[in-house]
């Protein structure tokens, strides 16, 4: 699942009308509604505040609103950009300040779509990946080399504990669990003790490097 890291705004002008898109990360419908209501209060002097949001692990919840613009010329084009970009847990408001010249239906669709697309391009995108925390325990004599190998392979432990043995908690993407466990056994000549723990998610920048390869 792909979403934005934080709020972002983008502005464009079309025939003297200003279109300002603000994107916000939201976690549920109540938060999306609250963001939209607050934005409308803050920009009550605008001609229109058109809206769209996508929610859910698979983007299954979608809503949009034209706020007085001709039907389907604002909210739906905005929503289509979010869906086409594969985003979820994102709310968008495009605030329009009318410049005195009508754009027509086609012009409105282009302006609202481009405003949202520009905001998405300006945003920092992250991808939520399912992981399982794998705890790897090794002897103190092996710890330095093993931790260096972990870093070299692109995995940063979320926690390292030094007790009777050295234990490293490593978030491992679900598709790579068995390969990671085999890799840990290989680099320690079978002397690592591996156990799987809690499932969760990590967020990885979309422009980040591919997942580690333990081959």
Number of Cβ within a 10 Å radius of residue 46: 19
pLDDT per residue rounded down to tens, the chain (215 residues) = 899 999 999 999 999 999 999 999 999 999 999 999 999 999 999 999 999 999 998 899 999 999 999 999 999 999 999 999 999 999 999 999 999 999 999 999 999 999 999 999 999 999 988 899 999 999 999 999 999 999 988 888 999 999 889 999 999 989 899 999 999 999 999 999 999 999 988 888 886 444 555 44
**What global pTM score does this model have?**
0.76
Domains in the chain and their CATH numbers? 2-123 (3.30.230.30), 128-205 (3.30.70.240)
* CB contact at 8 A, 43 and 95: yes
d(CA 111, CA 120): 14
Long-range contacts of residues 68-72, Cβ cutoff 8 Å, at least 24 apart:
69/96, 69/108, 69/112, 70/105, 70/108
């Amino acid at each position: 699942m792909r979403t934005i890291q934080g709020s972002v705004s983008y502005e464009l002008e079309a025939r003297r009308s200003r279109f300002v898109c603000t994107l916000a990360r939201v976690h549920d419908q109540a938060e999306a509604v609250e963001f939209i209501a607050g934005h409308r209060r803050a920009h009550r002097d605008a001609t229109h505040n058109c809206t769209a949001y996508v929610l859910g692990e698979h983007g299954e919840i979608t809503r949009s609103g034209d706020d007085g613009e001709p039907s389907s010329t604002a909210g739906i084009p905005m929503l289509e950009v979010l869906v086409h970009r594969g985003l979820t847990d994102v709310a968008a408001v495009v605030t329009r300040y009318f410049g005195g010249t009508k754009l027509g239906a086609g012009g409105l669709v282009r302006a609202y779509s481009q405003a949202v697309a520009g905001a998405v391009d300006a945003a920092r995108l992250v991808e939520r990946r399912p992981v399982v925390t794998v705890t790897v325990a090794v002897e103190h004599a092996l710890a330095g080399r093993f931790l260096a190998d972990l870093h070299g392979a692109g995995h940063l432990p979320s926690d390292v504990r030094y007790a009777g043995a050295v234990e490293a908690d490593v978030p491992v993407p679900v598709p790579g669990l068995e390969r990671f466990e085999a890799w840990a056994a290989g680099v320690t000549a079978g002397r690592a003790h591996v156990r799987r723990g809690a499932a969760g998610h990590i967020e990885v920048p979309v422009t980040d490097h591919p997942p580690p390869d333990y081959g």
